[in-house]
Amino acid sequence: MGTGELGRVYQEGEVIIRQGKTGDCMYEIQDGKVEVIQEISGKEVRLAVLGKGDFFGEMAIFEHDVRSATVRALGEVRALTIDKRTFLRRITEDPSLAFRIVERMSHRIREMNRELARLKT
Amino acid sequence: MQIHKTRKFDSKKHGLHIKLKTSGLNLENNSRVGVIGSGPAGSFFSYFLLDLAKRVGINIQLDIFESRDFSAPAPAGCNMCGGIISESLVQTLATEGINLPPSVVQRGIESYTLHMDVGRVVIDTPLHEKRIGAVYRGAGPRGIKEKKWGSFDGYLQDLAMEKGAHLIQARIKDIGWDDKWPQIKTSTGLEKEYDLLVVAAGVNSPTIKLFQNTDYIPPDTTKTFICEYYLGEEGVENCLGSSMHAFLLKIPRLEFAAFIPKGDYATVCMLGKKINKELVQSFLENPEVKSCVPPDWNMNHKACQCYPQINIKGSKKAFSDRIVFIGDCGVSRLYKDGIGGAYCTAKAAATTAIFEGISAHDFKKHFWPACKRIEKDNRIGKIIFFAVGLVQKVRFARRAVFRMVIMEQKNKSGRKRMSMSLWDLLTGSAPYQEVFWRMFHPFFFIRFFWNIAVAVFPFKRKRFQKRTYGYR
Ligand SMILES: Cc1cc2nc3c(=O)[nH]c(=O)nc-3n(C[C@H](O)[C@H](O)[C@H](O)COP(=O)(O)OP(=O)(O)OC[C@H]3O[C@@H](n4cnc5c(N)ncnc54)[C@H](O)[C@@H]3O)c2cc1C
């Protein structure tokens, strides 16, 4: 890891968050790629590949539920953890901090709708 | 309340009178905003104002005036600071989509080393992750051999310009009011009138004196000391590593001092009362300080040094119709995370201007509460620093703190109340209020007093000294 690189490095194939486990943080990818996988009846389905500037694990911050998917490093990945407590404190002081997250989540819903429509036709 | 008309200069005569379209005290399409200063406060404000304006669908013409050139080394490009970007700010900026790149961050900090006369102890970052950045505000110290990293202030300025801010590289030398519109005049003779004037000039320039006949009340400040030593990348790695070295030493008038590792240099930062050459010398000659530097280190071989002012009590009135003071020249966080404070006030001013309006009433209702929250927290911070000052003076109290931290660091599973309190206090990662409540927790008290008893009791102390931690 370079002297000025922030966050933590995960090696190829390393699981960053695991489906079904509880979590109290989200992650912002600083460098590299991760795959988002859902395990359905013992089979792995890749839902998405995320890269630099993307975030994941945000659902654990808003919901009191376990992680809905597993996120695994695709090659070497550097990610920064964002604590639930820090995030929620800041967001109560400044709700506009949530704009970017809401924007991305809305973008993901749009993509899911498109995928759903494709599957239904 | 209104800022009185002080020096009114005739902009029509100077041929640059621009008729503004805005009628009420709101920002509308094509409103003009002038920002004095492109330090963190000015650049954050410009970035967020333009971002929010785009979201609500209005076009704002924003000029930032900056007298420094952040690509230049030494004072010409530097806003004199320790250059620590706090854990909470790194996370908040990442949430905003601003990920500080390794081309700007010279070193990710992974621990704090607390030096006291009774010993030293390393407090690791809670998640064993680098979430604190050490940066240079400008291009580096005087005589820098090779520019390997970019300026932090330059990076933020570029972000603001990418959003559409127009940079005017000039110093504002006069302020006036034409009817109710603020006007500025630069050293290059340019005059302009704005719907909103944002003052982000910090406390280290004479700019805030331009407002002395107005109802703006400037913050209280005190003198500090910063200097830079060239150690080379290897030297920094070997002597300091990726740890910020904080010193709680019993030196009269010294409140806090730190050695901050950068790329090729180490920054020394000192806060205290009436800092002068003698105080600096007595700190640099301290054996605990000398243990952090190479044996052939010469304390007189500084690359750069300065005595900047720091905001220690925020402005009591930092807004009026069409004008708002953000960052250090308004309200800032006490001693720690001033850049985080600049972010908070800049963001509060930007959201107020876009969503609420730009009258004194709007700023009082929507911007001022964010400043008051910081000021309230600073008052709690003062109580904590008073307590830390007492610990600094009493040897057995220092021993008790040291012992408690060592025990906590060795015990991997238990709650680390002292370590976490010191971590948050030294890094500025959490509000002082949170540190306060952690410190005034009954368990914390019981443990602390138990450790004081152990530190005072000579038999125990002897055993403690021999066995584990190498008391001097
Ligand atoms: C010794 C010391 C150590 C510190 N360490 C840290 C630290 O480690 N971490 C941290 O977060 N904070 C630290 N701070 C605090 C931090 O430096 C300030 O809180 C922060 O710089 C405030 O940002 P600002 O934008 O309000 O002001 P500034 O950074 O001072 O920026 C003001 C800008 O306005 C420009 N300007 C002023 N007047 C004019 C004019 N008339 N025309 C055009 N341009 C003008 C200046 O050139 C400058 O660029 C430290 C402060 C001191 C004194």
DSSP assigned state of B208 = G
- ipTM for the predicted complex: 0.95
Whether B144 maps to a domain, the answer reads no
CATH of the domain at B287: 3.30.9.10
Q: Tell me, using a 6 A CB cutoff, whether residue B82 lines ligand 1.
A: yes
Residues of B (155-214) whose Cβ lies below 8 Å from A: none
Q: Tell me, using a 6 A CB cutoff, whether residue B68 lines ligand 1.
A: yes
Residue B252 neighbours by CB distance under 10 Å? 9
Which ligand 1 atom sits nearest the alpha carbon of residue B328? 26
Interval between CA A97 and ligand 1 midpoint (Å): 24
Boundary (domain end) residue, out of B351, B375, B399: B375
Mutate to test the pocket of ligand 1, among B89, B205, B313, B425 (most ligand atoms within 8 A of CB): B205
Whether residue B229 sits in one domain with residue B306:
yes
Q: Tell me phi and psi for residue B303, to 5 degrees.
A: -80, -30
Tell me which residue of B37, B32, B34, B35 sits closest to B60, measured CA to CA: B32
Whether B79 maps to a domain, the answer reads no
Which of A5, A6, A58 should be substituted to probe chain B, the one whose Cβ sees the most B Cβ atoms within 10 Å? A6
Whether B135 maps to a domain, the answer reads no
Tens-digit pLDDT profile for chain B (472 aa)? 344 444 444 434 433 333 344 445 999 999 999 999 999 999 999 999 999 999 999 999 999 999 999 999 888 999 999 999 999 999 999 999 999 999 999 999 999 999 998 899 999 887 789 999 999 999 999 988 888 999 999 999 999 999 999 999 999 999 998 878 999 999 999 999 999 999 999 999 999 999 988 889 999 999 999 999 999 999 999 999 999 999 999 898 998 999 999 999 999 999 988 899 999 999 999 999 998 899 888 988 989 999 999 999 999 999 999 999 999 999 999 998 999 999 999 999 999 999 999 999 999 999 999 999 999 999 999 999 999 999 888 988 999 999 899 888 888 777 888 998 998 898 888 999 999 998 888 888 888 888 888 888 755 444 444 333 433 3
Question: Would you call B35 helix, strand, or coil by DSSP?
Answer: strand
Whether residue B234 sits in one domain with residue B292:
yes
The Cα–Cα gap between B178 and B11 comes to 8
CA distance A69 to chain B (A): 21
Read off the pLDDT band of A42 (50, 70, 90): confident
Whether B82 maps to a domain, the answer reads no
Whether residue B399 sits in one domain with residue B272:
no
**Structurally, how many domains does chain B consist of?**
3
Interval between CA B373 and ligand 1 midpoint (Å): 20
Whether residue B283 sits in one domain with residue B333:
no
The Cα–Cα gap between B339 and B246 comes to 19
For B187, the domain range is 5-71+153-218+311-375
Q: Tell me phi and psi for residue B324, to 5 degrees.
A: -145, 140
Boundary (domain end) residue, out of B354, B375, B396: B375
User: CB–CB of A3 and B344 under 8 A?
Assistant: no
What is the per-residue burial (b if ≥16 Cβ within 10 Å, else e) of B12-51? eeeeeeeeeebeebbbeeebbbbbbbbbbbbbbbbbbbbb
In the numeric block, the tokens 């750069």 are attached to: B304
Question: Which chain A residues are Cβ-neighbours of B100 within 8 angstroms?
Answer: 6
Question: Which chain B residues are Cβ-neighbours of A86 within 8 angstroms?
Answer: 87-88, 91-92
Tell me which residue of B179, B147, B205, B186 sits closest to B34, measured CA to CA: B186
Of the partner residues B107, B128, B348, the one whose CB lies closest to the CB of residue A3: B107
Strands A70-83 and A15-17: antiparallel
Boundary (domain end) residue, out of B375, B400, B425: B375
Residue nearest to atom 26 of ligand 1 (CA): B327
Interval A1-27 mean pLDDT: 93
Interval between CA B328 and ligand 1 midpoint (Å): 7
Whether residue B237 sits in one domain with residue B114:
yes
pLDDT of B24: 59
Domain A8-120: CATH superfamily is Jelly Rolls (2.60.120.10)
* Contacts of residue B265, Cβ cutoff 8 Å, sequence gap at least 6: B140, B141, B228, B229, B230, B231, B236, B303
The Cα–Cα gap between B227 and B301 comes to 10
* Contacts of residue B19, Cβ cutoff 8 Å, sequence gap at least 6: none
pLDDT of B471: 33
The Cα–Cα gap between B393 and B330 comes to 33
pTM: 0.93
Q: Tell me, using a 6 A CB cutoff, whether residue B357 lines ligand 1.
A: no
Whether residue B65 sits in one domain with residue B163:
yes
